[in-house]
Structure 1
């Protein structure tokens, strides 16, 4: 299901960002972020965010309880933020 106009270059950037993050490669991650920020295409940075979100949704579909896990994580983060004041 396609709900956003994500191009192949956005998906490639999303994959590169994900790999950089997983591998702890801050230079690779910075390169992707800089590339998206300097892209003259309107909304290139937003498209990167959507591409990574699309990836996460695809990976989450592999877990039968992905929605519940995500909801639980959201609640945890909200609670942690509330505890900080």
Structure 2
């Protein structure tokens, strides 16, 4: 099934999207610990408490705490 295409044009005020919600889905929170970061391995955004630092390619990168697969299984079991 083909995905429906949406035609967009740049309006006079410079905005392009009418149906897109403004802002980011990863809005900044007031506390540093509640912010999300993306896992370097799987790319999913997680709260910082679910991530750990691991040295990859000579630099510390945030990755999912036990592992990406284990964390995904834990989160699926909670639902």
Larger helix percent: 1
TM-score (norm 2): 0.23
**Larger relative contact order (Cα-Cα within 8 Å, sequence gap ≥ 6):** 1
Report which of the two structures shows the higher radius of gyration computed on alpha carbons: 2
TM-score (norm 1): 0.22
